[in-house]
Chains A and B, each alone.
Chain A
Amino acid sequence: AQTVTQSQPEMSVQEAETVTLSCTYDTSESDYYLFWYKQPPSRQMILVIRQEAYKQQNATENRFSVNFQKAAKSFSLKISDSQLGDAAMYFCAYTGTVDSNYQLIWGAGTKLIIKP
């Protein structure tokens, strides 16, 4: 069965600094997708960034980028120039094209605190 692990329950960073959130996963599938979602206090999950496993190039969305290491099954999120609005729970999620089709498998989340 596929699993997603986030080993950092909480991280804090000074405003305008850079922070990296860690995620590892386990799967036997070769074709899959990885995501980072943000959940602010409003509770609504918002997609931050997506990575397709067959693409070697790391995904980037403005201040957000990932370090995707397929062999190590690692998928970290880097947030540059942190802003107060980045404070939220961040969840790493996985979906495969075979065994976990149609459903997202989630990590336990990392709470990100931004210090002004």
Chain B
Amino acid sequence: DAGVTQSPTHLIKTRGQQVTLRCSPKSGHDTVSWYQQALGQGPQFIFQYYEEEERQRGNFPDRFSGHQFPNYSSELNVNALLLGDSALYLCASSILPTVTGELFFGEGSRLTVL
């Protein structure tokens, strides 16, 4: 049973560029959440997708956008990259939006902005 898979695992961009990160949820899961984890910190919630719609959003600017496809996979897009966007981006999947926290995480995409 494949777990949550994310791609790419590492990438380097320069300021002002745009990046797209991808996530495939665990088999049977229909909800995807994205978190940003800066170095040495806990994750911060970016947004959650369910039924191809953004259901909840954290305190992130509009430069951060996403999408969910009919097969439940998801993309995170970040425009006009800033140095402060350097972080580990974690994708988590679940069965339905849930408050119980039964999330399954991928290994993340490490973004470095130079």
Task: State the A residues within 8 Å of B (CB).
Answer: 4, 33, 35, 42-47, 50, 52, 91, 93, 95-97, 101-109
B-side interface residues toward A, CB under 8 Å? 33, 35, 40-45, 48, 55-56, 58, 88, 90, 92, 97-103, 105-108, 110
Whether the pair A45, B90 counts as a contact (CB closer than 8 A) is yes
Q: Would you call the interface of chain B mostly helix, strand, loop, or mixed?
A: loop
Contact A97 B99 (CB under 8 A): yes
A108 CA to B38 CA in the complex, in Å? 10
- Given that A43-B88, A45-B92, A50-B100 are known contacts, is A103 also in contact with B105, CB under 8 Å in the complex? no
- Residues of A near B106 (CB, < 8 A) are 44
The 4 closest A-B pairs by CB, nearest first: A106-B42, A103-B45, A45-B105, A102-B56
Known: A102-B56, A106-B42, A107-B42. A47 touches B103 (CB 8 A): yes
Q: Is the CB of A47 within 8 A of B55?
A: no
- Interchain Cβ contacts under 8 Å between A and B, 7 examples: A42-B107, A47-B101, A47-B102, A95-B99, A95-B100, A103-B48, A103-B56
B contact residues around A33 at 8 Å (CB): 99-101
- Give Cα distance in the complex from A107 to B44, angstroms: 10
The answer on a CB contact under 8 Å between B107 and A44 is yes
CB contact under 8 A between A106 and B99, given known A42-B107, A45-B90: no
Shortest Cβ distance from A29 into chain B, in angstroms? 10
Contact check, A108 vs B107: say whether CB atoms are below 8 A apart. no
Give the residue name and chain of the A residue nearest to B58 (CB).
A103
Bound-state CA distance A103–B54 (Å) is 13
Docked CA distance A45–B88 (Å): 12
Q: In this complex, what residue of A is CB-closest to B88?
A: A43
- Are B41 and A102 in touch, CB under 8 angstroms? no
Do A35 and B101 touch (CB < 8 A)? yes
Q: Name the one of A46, A96, A101, A109 contacting B42, with C-beta atoms under 8 angstroms.
A: A109
Report how far A4 CA is from B13 CA in the complex, Å: 32
Chain A CB within 10 Å — which of B42, B102, B106 has the most? B42
Query: Are A43 and B101 interface neighbours, CB within 8 A?
Result: no
